[in-house]
Structure 1
Amino acid sequence: MAANYYRGYLRSHSDMEHGRARFPSAASTHRPLVLGALALMGLLQVASTVMILLHLTGYLREVDLSSAQPVEEVHSEPIIADALRDTQTREKCKRRNAAPVAHLSVKTPIDFSSTEPAVVTTVHWDQDRSILIRFKYHDGRLVMAEQGLYYVYAKTCFRYAADHASKKQDVSNAQLIQYIYHEIHSQSKFRPVLLSKSGGTLQWSNRNYNMYCVQQGRSVRLQKSDGLFVNVSNSWLLDPEPEGTYFGAFKMSN
């Protein structure tokens, strides 16, 4: 009886060992499937992430063969046109909001045939090299675009050198005078009002280079469409350099 019990114990112990051996075998069979599923999920995750990034960067739209033209080529002209319109609009707004300013340099070449000292000539200015913001220019005159208090200035330089000797003009007692005039538009007839004058009587030597400059300025209240201009005596002696002979005005207040 004891022998039968011992054999039963051995059998049960052997069965238990065989039973534990079968469990690890099942786990080792499913491990490759689990790892494969995890790897597939990882690949799908990477692929979806790449697709989202490509879509956000616009790469997919650029390589889309359904469109005959690239995206940039289709939209480049409207974008450039819009940018130009925006720039022009900003420039117009700046000029509209800017204070009135004008600066004119003398127009060359100067062809004043008269050498009579008593003759007074209106100076003409180079409109192509001018600054005209909310001003107009006509026939030597600055024309106001709006009323207000303005500062008006002018500078004229006179010179005598060997190239003037052919005129055989006596400059030993030359009067070199600059006048700034104001034309009032509201009057029935334009009767210029003298705003200021300056100059002097020079005794120059005919054989040497001589130069004399006149500069003046003042404030004046002007109305819309009023005019300003500059007259000089002995205009045939005017220096043609734009740095020496110029005329301008700017608005100080309403």
Structure 2
Amino acid sequence: MAANDYRGYLRNHTAMENGEARLHSAHGTHRPLIFGTLAVMGLLQLASSVTVLLHLTGYLHEVNLSSAEPVKETHSEHMMADALRDEKKRDKHRKKDQIPKAHLPVKAPIDFSSTDPNIITTVYWDETRGTRNKVQYRDGRLLIQEQGWYYVYAKTCFRYARDHATKKQDVSNVQLIQYIYHEIHTQPKFKPALLSKSGGTLQWGNQSYNMYCAQQGRSAFLNKHDGIFVNVSNSWLLDPEPEGTYFGAFKMSN
């Protein structure tokens, strides 16, 4: 009986040793696998962290770009608008400088000897005190260099100072008329077309100083080389001041 128990003990002890050996052998076999799994998990976690970090960095960069683009775009729009506005101003000034135009004051001193009210006289103008652009001047005429529709205007002032008059002429019933003529270059010069006239018959009394002004303007189509000029009656009464007597024209359209 005792021998059987002893053999059982030995058998159980041997089995336990063999089991522990197998357990240790199993642990030795799976240890590299465990380390490998942990290493892979660590790498995956590192890669995941790097991916998240790169994603966040890219997102923040995109946000910064998206927030900066409107500012840059708005700034560019303002710069473009300013440039276009400046260019329009320059174009406007250039076009204004290129418009055919002329404005000439009366040429002084005026030496019209005749006091005959029936004589019509062509008025001469002072180039040195006037302005011209693409319009020539010769013999009291503005000569058109570019055809188109023009606004033609003239103002003539007449005055008479009784105390200082060198010619004791009766002006109690004087006719003061202003004419604007269109001289068409394809027609004889002695047959100009009358564009307009203005004036009246003045009954100046015994006042020491008398003055009257005739002013008119109208549009007319003028061809290249056409001329326009002003005639007046009683030219000896013309006011020599440039603010009172002048003549001009400017192009409005083609």
Smaller-chain TM-score bracket: 0.5 to 0.7
Alignment partner, residue 194 of structure 1: 194
Alignment partner, residue 141 of structure 1: 141
Partners in 2 of 1:172 and 1:96 — Cα distance? Answer: 46
User: Structure 2 regions of 5+ residues with no counterpart?
Assistant: 1-92
Partners in 2 of 1:202 and 1:96 — Cα distance? Answer: 40
**TM-score computed with the length of structure 2 as normaliser:** 0.61
Within 5 A, what are the aligned runs for 1:160-199?
160-162=160-162, 165-199=165-199
Partners in 1 of 2:165 and 2:104 — Cα distance? Answer: 29
Aligned residue type for 2:202:
L
Partners in 2 of 1:232 and 1:97 — Cα distance? Answer: 32
Secondary structure in structure 2 of the residue aligned to 1:165: coil
Partners in 2 of 1:129 and 1:177 — Cα distance? Answer: 25
Partners in 2 of 1:112 and 1:244 — Cα distance? Answer: 17
Residues 137, 168 of structure 1: alpha-carbon distance in 2 compared, 3 angstrom cutoff: same
Which has the greater radius of gyration? 2
Alignment partner, residue 112 of structure 2: 112
Partners in 2 of 1:143 and 1:131 — Cα distance? Answer: 14
User: Does the alignment pair 1:103 with 2:116?
Assistant: no
Partners in 2 of 1:201 and 1:134 — Cα distance? Answer: 37
Offset of 1:199 from its aligned partner? 0.3
Alignment partner, residue 159 of structure 1: 159
Partners in 1 of 2:132 and 2:95 — Cα distance? Answer: 10
Secondary structure in structure 2 of the residue aligned to 1:118: coil
Deviations 1:162-211 (A, max 9, x none): 35533111100000000000000012555210000000000112442010
User: Structure 1 regions of 5+ residues with no counterpart?
Assistant: 1-92
1:122–1:232 CA contact under 8 A, matched in 2: yes
Offset of 1:102 from its aligned partner? 0.5
2:163–2:208 CA contact under 8 A, matched in 1: no
Secondary structure in structure 1 of the residue aligned to 2:128: strand
Partners in 2 of 1:163 and 1:240 — Cα distance? Answer: 18
Alignment partner, residue 203 of structure 2: 203
Alignment partner, residue 57 of structure 1: none
Alignment partner, residue 126 of structure 1: 126
Secondary structure in structure 2 of the residue aligned to 1:125: coil
Alignment partner, residue 229 of structure 2: 229
Partners in 1 of 2:224 and 2:170 — Cα distance? Answer: 43
Partners in 2 of 1:111 and 1:206 — Cα distance? Answer: 25
Alignment partner, residue 243 of structure 1: 243
Aligned residue type for 2:100:
P
Instruction: Kindly report structure 1 stretches of 4+ aligned residues shifted beyond 6 Å.
Output: none
Partners in 2 of 1:191 and 1:159 — Cα distance? Answer: 30
1:157–1:239 CA contact under 8 A, matched in 2: yes
Secondary structure in structure 2 of the residue aligned to 1:167: coil
Residues 114, 152 of structure 1: alpha-carbon distance in 2 compared, 3 angstrom cutoff: same
Deviations 1:205-234 (A, max 9, x none): 244201000000000000000000000000
Instruction: Kindly report the root-mean-square deviation, in angstroms, between the aligned alpha carbons of the 2 structures.
Output: 2.0
Deviations 1:143-169 (A, max 9, x none): 000100000000000001035533111
Aligned residue type for 1:235:
S
**TM-score computed with the length of structure 1 as normaliser:** 0.61
Aligned residue type for 2:156:
T
